[in-house]
Amino acid sequence: MDLLDVLVEKGLRREPPTREEALAVLATSDDDLLDVVAAAGRVRRQWFGRRVKLNYLVNLKSGLCPEDCSYCSQRLGSKAGILKYTWLKPEEAAEAAAAGVAGGAKRVCLVASGRGPTDRDIDRVSRTIEAVKDQNEGVEVCACLGLLSDGQAERLREAGADAYNHNLNTSESTYGEITTTHTYADRVDTVEKAHGAGLSACSGLIAGMGESDEDLVDVVFALRALDPDSVPVNFLIPFEGTPLAEEWNLTPQRALRILAMVRFVCPDVEVRLAGGREVHLRTLQPLALHLANSIFLGDYLTSEGQAGKADLEMIADAGFEVEGTDTPTLPRHRAEGAGVCGSVRDGEAAGCGGSAAGCGEDAAGCGHGPAGCGGHSGAGPAEEPVGQDAPAAAASPRTDLVAVRRRGAGTDLAPNA
């Protein structure tokens, strides 16, 4: 049976591919790209129909981070000219969140840079969660605050948080090359703490930092083993003033292959198209909607995104629809397995779970940067031996597409939502 037929059949049964099959997806040629997208699209539609969940980021505290994540514009020693400000007041964060909700966002992700929250920070964020929910009826709230200590996830849940985001970013074997101030194991521990507290766990990756195909497959299989409800896929935004400023490894075709591989490995999980999509997918963004069932609306943490109006037009023009607040995101079997309510809506399996919005970009505590961890770009031709690094494509740096956020949270200007 043809590789793609095998992958579709497995995806419809919620069975993961083998590691070799996942590597083979990344090694397909550009000539086969539309076939790969169509095959992964069948799996996406089986579990999520043509719905697209919208998520909105609010950067509660920007810059000034003591961690050294190489991809992050907020890192220790970063020379990127980003906005820097301390904690927003709860009412300011709620006002910022309202702009995203008005634009159609179902979930708001509250993000703060830093290694992890103090107990005082948890108190502050708890008040912010309450303010956001008081002013935005029915909104889901995800917190993304870095490494959690014992008991902090439970406190966030008690305050009304629905989810917690903390990304693995890249493979365990290469993690030390990207960050030295904390470990891969620290990140795994935080995701497990969120799970244990009953929060919807969200954890993803960053592609485009120079990693191999093996690294990408390793991190996605590690994510599957952690069983998050949501897997945000970020693509490195090479900010000037960061160690990875020269890493322009991705092509639109490579980015689509990565998304397809994630969908095959995580068939019934919310796959979120996150930071860097505008920079690396560019005009092929609509094709990514056949692979991912969730995106961020408007701007990211420290960089500008596509205009919210353009996002909504893209979704409609591609034949998809925005997921309503009364429609559960996850398939019923996942929601029930997680002990969350589920229902069948209009004949579709649906679940009450959700996905913590991946920070979409670079909060160091959030685990993904204005860029992403990984990706030996340049898709290898189909006949290239599976498992070997493909030569990087000659991608021309699109520095013109990297714009620092100057509006929204932390400014006096209206947000882009």
Catalytic residue among 144, 202, 266, 359: 202
Q: 3-state DSSP helix/strand/coil percent for the chain, to nearest 5?
A: 35, 15, 50
* C-beta contacts of 189-194 below 8 A and 24+ residues apart: 189/147, 190/116, 190/146, 190/147, 190/148, 190/164, 190/166, 191/166, 191/226, 191/228, 192/226, 193/148, 193/150, 193/152, 193/153, 194/148, 194/153, 194/163, 194/164, 194/166, 194/356
Based on the residue annotation, tell me whether 109 is a catalytic residue of this protein: yes
Of all helices (H) and strands (E), which one includes residue 213?
helix 213-226
Catalytic residue among 69, 144, 266, 366: 69
Query: In the beta sheet, which residues pair with residue 233?
Result: 205, 273
Catalytic residue among 44, 124, 142, 277: 142
Angstrom distance (rounded) from CA 21 to CA 293: 22
Give the DSSP per-residue string, 253-312: HHHHHHHHHHHHHSTTSEEEE-TTHHHHTGGGHHHHTTT-SEEE-S--SSB--S-HHHHH
Distance of alpha carbon 333 from its chain centroid, rounded?
Answer: 22
Based on the residue annotation, tell me whether 332 is a catalytic residue of this protein: no
Burial class (CB in 10 A: 0-12, 13-18, 19+), 13: exposed
Catalytic residue among 44, 51, 75, 109: 109
Based on the residue annotation, tell me whether 341 is a catalytic residue of this protein: no
> What is the identity of the amino acid at 116?
G
Catalytic residue among 51, 124, 187, 272: 272
Based on the residue annotation, tell me whether 144 is a catalytic residue of this protein: no
The widest CA-to-CA distance across the chain, in whole angstroms, is 58
Angstrom distance (rounded) from CA 42 to CA 48: 10
Based on the residue annotation, tell me whether 366 is a catalytic residue of this protein: no
Based on the residue annotation, tell me whether 266 is a catalytic residue of this protein: no
Based on the residue annotation, tell me whether 72 is a catalytic residue of this protein: yes
What's the DSSP call for residue 395?
P
Angle, CA 98 vertex, CA 128 and CA 55 arms, to 5°: 90
Q: How many residues does the chain have?
A: 417
Catalytic residue among 72, 359, 366, 373: 72
Other residues' Cβ atoms within 10 Å of the Cβ of residue 347: 7
Which residues are the active-site residues? 65, 69, 72, 109, 142, 202, 272
